[in-house]
Amino acid sequence: MLSIAEIKRGLFSYEEVSGGFVASFKSAGELLKAAEKTRQANVKQFDCFSPCPIHGMDKAMGLNRSWIPVLTFIGGIMAIVLGLAYIIYIDVFNWPIVFGGKPFFSWPAYVPILFELAIYFASVFTVVGVLVLGRLGFINRKPPVKGVTSDVFAIWLGDKNLTRSDVERILSGLNAQIEEVKS
């Protein structure tokens, strides 16, 4: 069984870049190759940092499919079900009044409202999902090297047993600038 503390750690903390090595590159292409090589070298703890999203990075790093679409779907469905229940409670039970000769439960008139609610909650669930799964909101978090929000493409290899020569071997053939990270 997962304890609450474990779930909290799993969802509401981020992977600290401490220990291991950071290799920086000048282009997205090199970082993509570096990620591929790092994964093939069976490094367990690693992450890439870049100023922009890079096509094919998920595959190169071997990331699982994102859960975000599932959250979006849940948000949308939830909004429709709860919204409809609320409207039925109001129009049929709490305040049954005839408007323009229409039945108390006049569902076609509810479509626009339920549609807007679905969009709203689907969007909110999507964004909250990204904040949680993408580990955003820890405002003191610092990039591992300077410039990854500008023009540097970097990969961090964090496994404890790695040495500098291991990293050099894994990233051989690429134009990497390797730095050790203090733990």
Partner 1 sequence: MATEKSVYHIGKPFAAMDDDVMRPIEAFPTKLWWGAFSVSAALALLGVGTILYSFAVGLGIFAINNPVGWGFFIVNFVFWVGIGHAGTLISAILFLFRQKWRTSINRAAEAMTIFAVIVAAIFPAIHIGRPWFVFWAFPYPNERGPLWANFRSPLLWDLFAISTYFSVSLIFWYMGLVPDFATLRDRFERYKAKSKLGDILLQMKALTYKALALGWVGSAKTWHHYEKMVMLLSALATPLVLSVHTIVSFDFATSVIPGWHATIFPPYFVAGAIYSGFAMVLTLMIITREVFKLKEYITLKHLENMAIVILVTGMMVSFAYTVEFVMAAYSASHVEQYAFINRLKGPFAWAFWIMFTCNVVSPHFMWFKSLRTNIKVLFVISIVVNIGMWFERFVIVIISLHRDYLPSSWDTYNPTWADYAVLVGSFGIFFTLFLMFIRTIPSIALAEVKADEANAALSHH
Alpha-helical regions (H) of the chain: 4-11, 28-40, 57-61, 68-88, 107-133, 164-170
Shorter beta-carbon distance to partner 1: residue 155 or 167: 155
Interface with partner 1 (CB under 8 A), residue from 25, 37, 38, 72: 72
Place of tokens 């090199």: 30
20 makes contact with partner 1 (CB under 8 A)? no
49, 144 contact by CB (below 8 A): yes
Residue nearer to partner 1 on the CB measure, 32 or 167: 32
| Distance in angstroms (rounded) separating the CA atoms of residues 86 and 96 | 13
> Please, what's the largest Cα pairwise distance for the chain?
82
- Residue (of 120, 113, 126, 119) closest to 85 by Cα position: 113
Q: How far is the C-alpha of 18 from the C-alpha of 159, rounded, in Å?
A: 10
Residue in the block written with tokens 């408007």: 99
Q: Which is nearer to partner 1, 123 or 183 (CB)?
A: 123
129 scored as a contact of partner 1 (CB under 8 A): yes
Instruction: Closer to partner 1 by CB, 28 or 167: give it.
Output: 28
Kindly tell me which of 136 and 163 has the beta carbon lying closer to partner 1: 136
**According to CB under 8 A, which one of 138, 168, 177, 183 is a site residue for partner 1?**
138
Binding residues for partner 1, rule: CB under 8 A, are: 14-15, 27-29, 32, 35, 47-58, 61, 63, 66, 68-69, 72, 86-87, 90-91, 94-95, 99-100, 102, 106, 109-110, 112-113, 115-117, 119-120, 122-124, 126-127, 129-131, 133-144, 146-151
